[in-house]
A = this chain, B = another copy of it.
Amino acid sequence: MTDETADPKSIPQGVVERLPHYLNALLHLRREGVQTVSSARLSTLAEVNAAQIRRDLTYFGSFGKRGVGYDVAMLIDRIQRILGSDHAHRIAILGAGNLGSAIASYDGLRARGFTVAGLFDNDPRRIGQRVADLIVRDVRDLPRLVAEQGIRFGVIAVPPESAQEAADRLCEAGIRVILNYSPAYVSVPPDVTIHNTDPVRELLHTLYYLSRTEDVAVHS
């Protein structure tokens, strides 16, 4: 029963980053009706070395049967528990533009244990509008909702020039973890965790490989 109590400091970041990939692959397998999977099969789906998958899992316990493999449903359950996505986490999204709306209406959220507790904006033209099955709320209601529902998770999906203001609002409201989708630098108090994502940073990284591929194409 000490499975999930491993010292977080001792878990390599790479492991934590790969777990969602395993989960993705396992959910896919379950939809296909697969009940048991070997690390080799999982390896091709998740594009991770089979030995590494087994190694990664041992950080949290031993979930497989030698000679048989892993029970898909059981492993899904374990990984979800490790990631904390087994019980619904309520999130607040700031910004009801295209990006915020895309995140709010994304089916995969619910499938992975997230609930959008509120989608907020400060533009009167957007407040009251319907996005997926949500009504856009006034950002001034944020503190109340966070307090009432004990929301700890916030997403910044506003234009870069408003990102710091959005972060301030989230922190004041009592949010514990912020995922920032804007490219702006924002600062938060030390007790708040912030992760920055930028959809285009990803493109730039990919671009590097593109330009190398092109070189090869030109020379061949």
How many copies of this protein are present in the complex? 2
**Least Cβ distance of A11 to chain B in Å?**
8
Does residue A103 face the partner (Cβ distance < 8 Å to B)? yes
Which of B89, B155, B177, B202 sits near A197, CB closer than 8 Å?
B202
Q: What's the least CB distance linking A80 to chain B, in Å?
A: 9
Chain B residue nearest to A25 in the complex (CB): B185
What's the interface size class on A, roughly? 35 or more
Cross-interface CB contact of A193 among B105, B109, B209, cutoff 8 Å: B209
Among A89, A185, A205, A207, residue most surrounded by chain B Cβ atoms (within 10 Å): A207
**Complex partner residue of A112 from B91, B105, B112, B200, CB under 8 angstroms:** B200
A123 to B: closest C-beta gap in Å: 15
The answer for the CA separation of A109 and B203 in the assembled complex, in Å, is: 9
Q: Using Cβ atoms and an 8 Å threshold, which residues of chain B touch A181?
A: 199
Is A206 on the interface with B (CB-CB < 8 A)?
yes
B-side contacts of A83, CB under 8 Å: 204, 207-208, 211
Chain B residue numbers with a CB within 8 Å of A8 are 209, 212
Question: Is the CB of A195 closer than 8 A to any CB of chain B?
Answer: yes
